[in-house]
Amino acid sequence: MLIGFAGLGRMGRPMARNLARAGHEVLAYDPVLAASADDQGLAPDGVRLVRSVADLAAAPMTISMLPDGATTRELVTGRDGLCAAGVQDGHLHVIMGTVGPTLVREVAAAAAERGVQVVDAPVSGSVSLADAAQITTMVGGTEEQFARVGPVLAAMTKMQYHTGPVGSGSTAKLAVNAVLAALNQGVAEGMLLAEAGGLDTAVFYEVLSTSAAGAPYVGYKSDAFLSPAEIAVSAPVSLIHKDVSLALDLAAEQRLTLPGSEAVVGVLDQATAAGLGEEDMAQVLAALRLLNASERPSNPEGTNAMNDDVEQIRELEDRRYDAIVAGDFDGFAKLAHPDLAYTHSTGDTDTLESYLEKCRAGFYDYHRIDHPVDRITVVGDTAIVVGEMNADLTAGGVQKTLANRCLAVWVRSGGDWKLLGYQPTVVPRS
């Protein structure tokens, strides 16, 4: 079957690839990659990149795996969306991103007026499970629609559950992730308590995973909690923050109080403020460490070591900015963690690979960077740098002057500090 797929992010990329592996012809559109659609090397194996949403209209079925409700609504019912692109009669669109049941039903109603059917089928599972087509999907739609999408979903997922009418899949997903986020925070708090009591955290984690609290999530997240710098991000803090916030919105609509989810989102707020938004959700442990650092007894013997770390991080900040201005991209790469999440003031986020590719191609050409540092906080093997990033550069052929507040996250990996995350915020003009 010819299938249109929108959204080639962490989860969307392996899902689109699995569709192609199952024998489907897949046309893929991604807002970030649209301008580079001629470079088919950017697409997953067997998938053909297209330049616009309109190029997906030839398919009788389209799927979206987009990060938020606004981009999903625009894709389906926007001015240049699927409904405006002349799709075939009976076209079916499957919303697989987590955007909440209210928005799903609104989009479905608006699309139905223009002859387009919409179902929701959000998924539960990690990137590695998506890669192996072992994720679970919860489908909201009619029995006929569920029968129609079932074989397609089976190419990407292990289990497909029909939860009821359109929007019900999203309700189920938010309920699942409310539980997941609470479990994630519970594991982090248990780890923190074990550390404070002097336990070997690896031994404690093994105990936890085989105890009454040993849910499957606890088992497969062991590396994320014990060795976060050594593994790829599976589900970032920003994503679970979005999902729990949507769950609280739904609870408010139903006049429910969810004290556990409210506590969880408070910690996720703190993690985001600490610059951990694009780190794995297990890094709420780092946020809790930072939160509790000021309340721990001082350790005079550790003061000199911490001061040495602070000065080393300060030097590394100088080196990474100098390397970018000088065009020494190999030098920058040596300072960066392989899982670097480099966010720009436009809101776009690059991986290490994509950022270096753009710099080497001249898309980003930095002429000047000033980066005064306000403070550096080191807790264990994580360092948070708070400061400014003021720069003159050319981005995509456009001259720009930046004035940003920024957060940088460094982690100690293999004995060396590596840049793991960078997040700027534009300073409003007075």
The pLDDT assigned to 60 comes to 95
Q: DSSP 3-state assignment of 232? A: coil
**Spatial CB neighbours of 54, under 8 Å, sequence gap ≥ 6:** 80, 85, 86
Distance separating alpha carbons of residues 34 and 356, to the nearest angstrom:
19
Average of per-residue pLDDT across 17-21: 95
How much is the pLDDT for 102?
A: 95
Is residue 175 very low, low, confident or very high in pLDDT (cuts 50, 70, 90)? very high
Taken in order of first residue, the domains within the chain and their CATH numbers are 2-165 (3.40.50.720), 171-293 (1.10.1040.10), 300-426 (3.10.450.50)
> Which range has the top average pLDDT, 39-53, 322-336, 416-430?
322-336
* pLDDT score recorded for residue 414: 78
Instruction: Assess whether pLDDT exceeds 60 at residue 46.
Output: yes
Whether the per-residue pLDDT at 167 is higher than 70: the answer is yes
Closest CA to 268 of 292, 291, 293: 291
Average pLDDT, the chain: 90
334 is catalytic: no
> What gap in Å lies between CA 281 and CA 269, rounded to an integer?
12
Helix (H, G, I), strand (E, B) or coil at 50: coil
- 230 pLDDT band (50/70/90 cuts)? confident
Q: What are 100-137's pLDDT values in tens digits? A: 999 999 999 999 999 999 999 999 988 889 999 999 99
State how far the Cα of 319 lies from the Cα of 331, in Å rounded to an integer: 9
Q: CA 328 to CA 3: how far, in whole Å? A: 42
- Dihedral sign for Cα 330, 336, 341, 342, please: negative
Quote the pLDDT of residue 249. 93
Q: Map tokens 């990474």 to a residue.
A: 320
pLDDT at 196: 87
> Could you give the 3-state DSSP secondary structure of residue 171?
helix
Q: What average pLDDT score do residues 51-57 get?
A: 90
- For residue 40, what pLDDT is reported? 66
Catalytic residue among 158, 173, 400, 418: 173
pLDDT at 295: 52
* Residue 429 predicted with pLDDT over 90: no
Between 223 and 293, residue with greater pLDDT: 223
- Which amino acid is present at 170? S
pLDDT of residue 418: 94
Q: Which range has the worst mean pLDDT, 36-50, 245-259, 289-303?
A: 289-303
- pLDDT confidence band for 10 (50 / 70 / 90): confident
